[in-house]
């Protein structure tokens, strides 16, 4: 991590009249005269006026402030920060994809539609579902779409009293949020001490007012919900549908399929499991799959394949006319984040079936390796073989007063991104670690060494750990003040 | 003569007659960390024992407020809208809502201070 902080804004570099390029007179200057006055702007746009070298240096210096999977280890639990192979970017940048216009006639974009169609099929195979829509823009958007599908299903049967969604207390915050946005009431079901859903508590909540039960499997503490066949059975018995939150699909890749476990609707976070970039490098994508019988409730457009008169296959956009009036219609402006979908397709094709089957087991191996190497110094509240991630409840030795926040900040000094902290809410000092399958043993050993060193510091020199970070360009930002009085525009600064 | 009761989900209610002041305990404010927002019901809203009536958001988490009793909201503490950090300064003095209890017998299922202390100890 660099120690210097480049904190300028591009507007601060602006000088009146400065330009990167000087365009020659091209004879089009009077073109503006022919436009009606109400279409012309009165004032020039307030864009920064900067020369090219300053622009290039500005953005390079900005990116040097950044920390990402391309700069270092990023064990952010529940986020699956795996390395994003550059071939994905290369494929999505091919001009045959990147210069397309969404309104081009289908006949001129057959290759792009075929790629889209293939991904719909591959995700269906991977998830054990009948059909997938690639339209949703992100995981939470996928959840919302999935719940709208579930609502549409119940409404199509005239079953209008199903207004509740059951969500485990360990669920990601997006689950209750999506349910609320979909107009459904959230009911929480408790977890057992081992982190799995309490089947008896769930049974007591199930009745004819329940629309769906949302589950993440493996769950938020990285434990596989081994009772899932029984859960699927009792959920279906009461007439509700079982929703699979794909946030933690990574360890199951090529090993187990939500469709086979009895899930009816699922979403996949392509930006997690399928190695497309997260956050600032995003955007994300949250495709939604459904089991047979629910296809007609998926949103449109989708890509369909036809074979007219035995000739070449023809790929077309289906806007739902054939699927009947039940379809949700549009949930995104067009086909979703097409470039992200191409990156996921490139990832699947470059790993192949055999490679994909190794991703889950290796992610599981890496997580268990880190867990076992640290459990003597950090408190392990759930002592079981985990899947892709696990949760410590802070340092084992609580007498030093060093908190999870201190440990996380100290990790920054050593050049690592911090794990997820204070989530899940099941423990007071949650420290959630997800190494992913893309890290080498050397990187894991280095991280383990640093975590052990921090535990030693906490015992021998707790004040240093409490004062961390000491080495970062910005030390301790006041998050409370930032949340209370956010300054989000240049003018406010 | 007022008396304070606690719920297992860390809300307190200080009752005088059939009027109660509901907030979160000192233990809860400490566990949550710096509070940045309090989502409160409005005057006249009904709250139901065991159901959520709002939420407290901190830099760490957003946590539902669970009503310890049923009743009608007489007042929401507007001071918290401008300065949610008051909860961290003194959680017991800065109540969140003032309610008129509809069923005083619901207080029997809550904990007194001593029982609540033991409850927090067990959670640590």
Assign B105 to helix, strand or coil. helix
Per the domain annotation, does A340 fall within a domain?
yes
Residue A221 and residue A318 in one domain: yes
Among B31, B59, B63, the residue with its CB nearest the CB of A483 is: B59
Per the domain annotation, does B118 fall within a domain?
no
Residue A27 and residue A134 in one domain: no
Phi, psi of A69 (to 5 degrees): -60, -20
Residue A144 and residue A288 in one domain: yes
Q: Which residue of A has its CA nearest to B30?
A: A428
- Number of structural domains found in chain B: 1
Per the domain annotation, does A75 fall within a domain?
no
pLDDT digits (tens, 9 = 90+) for B53-108: 999 999 888 889 999 999 999 999 999 999 999 999 999 999 999 999 999 999 99
Domain containing residue A434: 358-479
Residue A160 is predicted with a pLDDT of 94
Sign for the pseudo-dihedral over CA of B109, B113, B119, B124: positive
Token pair recorded at residue A266: 């699922």
Which residues of chain B neighbour A173 with C-beta distances below 8 Å?
Answer: 62
Which residues of chain B neighbour A171 with C-beta distances below 8 Å?
Answer: none
Instruction: Find tokens 């946590």 and name the residue.
Output: B63
What does the alpha-carbon distance between residue A346 and residue A410 come to, in Å, rounded to a whole number? 37
Cross-chain residue pair B62–A479, CB shorter than 8 Å: no
Per the domain annotation, does B116 fall within a domain?
no
Last residue of a domain, one of A324, A347, A370: A347
Residue A257 and residue A327 in one domain: yes
Per the domain annotation, does B32 fall within a domain?
yes
Cross-chain residue pair A428–B124, CB shorter than 8 Å: yes
Which residues of chain B neighbour A429 with C-beta distances below 8 Å?
Answer: none
Cross-chain residue pair B61–A428, CB shorter than 8 Å: no
Per the domain annotation, does B18 fall within a domain?
yes
Q: Which residue of A has its CA nearest to B27?
A: A428
Among B59, B62, B63, the residue with its CB nearest the CB of A479 is: B59
Residue A1 is predicted with a pLDDT of 44
Last residue of a domain, one of A21, A48, A63: A63
Cross-chain residue pair B59–A173, CB shorter than 8 Å: no
Measure A117 CA to nearest chain B CA, in Å.
40
What does the alpha-carbon distance between residue A340 and residue A92 come to, in Å, rounded to a whole number? 8
Whole-model pTM: value is 0.87
Over its C-alpha atoms, chain B yields an Rg (Å, rounded) of: 13
Of residues A412, A413, A393, the one with CA closest to residue A404? A393
Of residues B34, B43, B41, the one with CA closest to residue B84? B34
Residue B59 is predicted with a pLDDT of 83
Residue A233 and residue A193 in one domain: yes
What does the alpha-carbon distance between residue A64 and residue A70 come to, in Å, rounded to a whole number? 11
Residue A364 is predicted with a pLDDT of 97
Q: Among B9, B28, B60, B85, pick the best mutation site for testing chain A contact (most A Cβ within 10 A).
A: B60
Per the domain annotation, does B122 fall within a domain?
no
Instruction: Find tokens 């790629």 and name the residue.
Output: A115
Measure A134 CA to nearest chain B CA, in Å.
31
Which residues of chain A neighbour B60 with C-beta distances below 8 Å?
Answer: 422
Complex-level ipTM: 0.70
How many pairs of residues across A and B have Cβ atoms under 8 Å apart? Answer: 21
Residue A301 and residue A386 in one domain: no
Q: Is B86 on the interface with A (CB under 8 A)?
A: no
- Number of structural domains found in chain A: 3
Among A422, A423, A484, the residue with its CB nearest the CB of B36 is: A484
Instruction: Please check whether residue A356 is in contact with residue A250, taking contact to mean a CB–CB distance below 8 angstroms.
Output: no
Q: Which residue of A has its CA nearest to B31?
A: A428
Question: Residue B47 is inside which H or E element, if any?
Answer: strand B46-47
Per the domain annotation, does A372 fall within a domain?
yes
Measure A426 CA to nearest chain B CA, in Å.
11
Which residues of chain A neighbour B85 with C-beta distances below 8 Å?
Answer: 480, 484
Instruction: Please check whether residue A184 is in contact with residue A209, taking contact to mean a CB–CB distance below 8 angstroms.
Output: no
Cross-chain residue pair B61–A425, CB shorter than 8 Å: yes
Residue A325 is predicted with a pLDDT of 57
Per the domain annotation, does B23 fall within a domain?
yes
Q: What is the pLDDT along chain A (493 residues), one digit of tens a residue?
A: 455 788 888 999 999 999 888 777 777 767 778 889 899 888 888 899 999 999 999 999 988 888 889 999 999 999 999 999 999 999 999 999 999 998 899 999 999 999 999 999 999 999 999 999 999 999 999 999 999 999 999 999 999 999 999 999 888 889 999 999 999 999 999 999 888 999 999 999 999 999 999 999 999 999 999 999 999 999 999 999 999 999 999 999 989 999 999 999 999 999 999 999 986 656 899 999 999 999 999 999 999 998 877 777 799 998 876 555 566 878 998 899 999 999 999 999 999 999 999 999 999 999 999 999 999 999 999 999 999 999 999 999 999 999 999 999 999 999 999 999 998 888 889 999 999 999 999 999 999 999 999 999 999 999 999 999 999 888 888 888 888 888 888 777 7
Of residues A24, A21, A22, A10, the one with CA closest to residue A52? A21
Question: What is the CATH classification number for the domain harbouring A420?
Answer: 3.90.1150.10
DSSP B40: -
Mean pLDDT score of chain B? 94
Q: Which residue of A has its CA nearest to B120?
A: A428
Last residue of a domain, one of A347, A371, A403: A347
Token pair recorded at residue A192: 């057992």
Residue A402 is predicted with a pLDDT of 97
Which residues of chain A neighbour B62 with C-beta distances below 8 Å?
Answer: 173
Given its phi and psi angles, is residue A78 left (phi above 0), alpha (psi -120 to 50 degrees) or beta? left
Question: What is the CATH classification number for the domain harbouring A264?
Answer: 3.40.640.10
Question: What is the CATH classification number for the domain harbouring B66?
Answer: 2.40.50.100
What does the alpha-carbon distance between residue A362 and residue A99 come to, in Å, rounded to a whole number? 37
Q: Which chain A residues have any C-beta within 8 angstroms of a chain B C-beta?
A: 173, 422-423, 425, 428, 479-480, 483-484
Per the domain annotation, does A74 fall within a domain?
no
Among A425, A428, A480, the residue with its CB nearest the CB of B59 is: A480
Per the domain annotation, does B31 fall within a domain?
yes
Cross-chain residue pair A484–B63, CB shorter than 8 Å: no
Q: Is the peptide bond before A218 cis (omega within 30 degrees of 0)?
A: yes
Q: Which residue of A has its CA nearest to B57?
A: A483
What does the alpha-carbon distance between residue A22 and residue A25 come to, in Å, rounded to a whole number? 10
Residue A282 is predicted with a pLDDT of 67
Instruction: Find tokens 């067990």 and name the residue.
Output: B122
Domain containing residue B13: 3-107
Q: Among B61, B89, B124, pick the best mutation site for testing chain A contact (most A Cβ within 10 A).
A: B61
Residue B1 is predicted with a pLDDT of 75
Per the domain annotation, does B117 fall within a domain?
no
What does the alpha-carbon distance between residue A305 and residue A312 come to, in Å, rounded to a whole number? 10
């Amino acid at each position: 991590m660099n120690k210097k902080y480049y904190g300028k804004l591009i507007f601060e570099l602006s000088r009146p009249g400065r330009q990167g390029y000087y365009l020659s007179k091209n004879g089009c200057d009077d073109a503006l005269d022919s436009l009606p006055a109400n279409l012309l702007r009165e004032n020039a746009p307030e864009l920064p006026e900067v020369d090219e070298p300053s622009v290039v240096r500005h953005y390079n210096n900005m990116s040097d402030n950044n920390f990402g999977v391309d700069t270092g280890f990023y064990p952010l639990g529940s986020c699956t920060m795996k390395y994003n192979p550059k071939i994905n970017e290369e494929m999505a940048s091919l001009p045959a994809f990147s210069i397309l216009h969404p309104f081009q006639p289908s006949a001129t974009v057959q290759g792009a539609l075929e790629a889209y169609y293939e991904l719909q099929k591959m995700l269906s195979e991977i998830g054990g579902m009948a059909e997938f829509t690639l339209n949703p823009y992100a995981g939470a958007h996928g959840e919302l779409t999935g719940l709208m599908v579930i609502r549409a299903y119940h409404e199509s049967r005239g079953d209008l009293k199903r207004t509740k969604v059951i969500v485990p207390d360990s669920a990601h915050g997006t689950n209750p949020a999506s349910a609320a946005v979909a107009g459904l009431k959230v009911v929480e079901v408790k977890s057992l001490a081992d982190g799995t859903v309490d089947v008896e508590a769930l049974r007591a909540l199930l009745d004819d007012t329940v629309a769906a039960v949302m589950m993440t499997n493996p769950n938020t503490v990285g434990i596989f919900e081994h009772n899932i066949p029984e859960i699927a059975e009792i959920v279906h018995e009461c007439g509700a549908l079982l929703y699979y939150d794909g946030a933690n699909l990574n360890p199951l890749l090529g090993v187990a399929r939500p469709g086979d476990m009895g899930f009816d609707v699922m979403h996949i976070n392509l930006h997690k499991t399928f190695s497309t970039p997260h956050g600032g490098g995003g955007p994300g994508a949250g495709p939604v799959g459904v089991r047979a019988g629910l296809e007609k409730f998926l949103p449109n457009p989708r890509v369909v394949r036809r074979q007219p008169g035995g000739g070449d296959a023809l790929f077309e956009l289906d806007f739902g006319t054939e699927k009947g009036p039940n379809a949700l219609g549009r949930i995104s402006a067009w086909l979703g984040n097409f470039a992200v979908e191409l990156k996921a397709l490139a990832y699947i094709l470059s790993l192949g079936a055999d490679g994909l089957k190794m991703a889950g087991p290796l992610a599981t191996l890496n997580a268990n390796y880190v867990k076992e190497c640290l459990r003597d110094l950090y408190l392990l509240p759930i002592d079981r073989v985990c899947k892709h991630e696990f949760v410590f409840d802070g340092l084992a030795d609580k007498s030093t007063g060093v908190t999870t926040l201190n440990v996380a900040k100290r990790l920054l000094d050593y050049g690592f991104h911090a794990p997820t902290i204070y989530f899940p809410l099941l423990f007071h000092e949650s420290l959630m670690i997800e190494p992913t399958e893309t890290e080498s043993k050397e990187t894991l050993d280095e991280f383990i060494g640093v975590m052990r060193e921090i535990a030693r510091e906490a015992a021998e020199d707790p004040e240093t750990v409490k004062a961390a970070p000491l080495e970062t360009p910005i030390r301790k930002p006041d998050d409370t003040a930032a949340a209370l009085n956010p300054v989000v525009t240049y003018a406010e600064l | 003569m007022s008396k304070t009761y606690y719920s297992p989900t860390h809300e307190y209610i200080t009752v005088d007659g059939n009027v109660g002041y509901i907030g979160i305990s000192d233990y809860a404010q400490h566990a949550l960390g710096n509070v940045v927002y309090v989502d409160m019901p409005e005057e006249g809203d009904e709250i139901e024992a065991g159901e959520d009536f709002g939420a407290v958001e901190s830099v760490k988490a957003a946590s539902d407020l669970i009503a310890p009793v049923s009743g009608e909201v007489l007042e929401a503490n507007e001071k918290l809208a401008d300065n949610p950090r008051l909860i961290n300064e003194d959680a017991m003095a800065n109540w969140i809502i003032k309610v008129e209890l509809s069923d005083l017998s619901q207080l029997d299922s809550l904990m007194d201070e001593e029982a609540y202390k033991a409850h927090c100890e067990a959670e640590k």
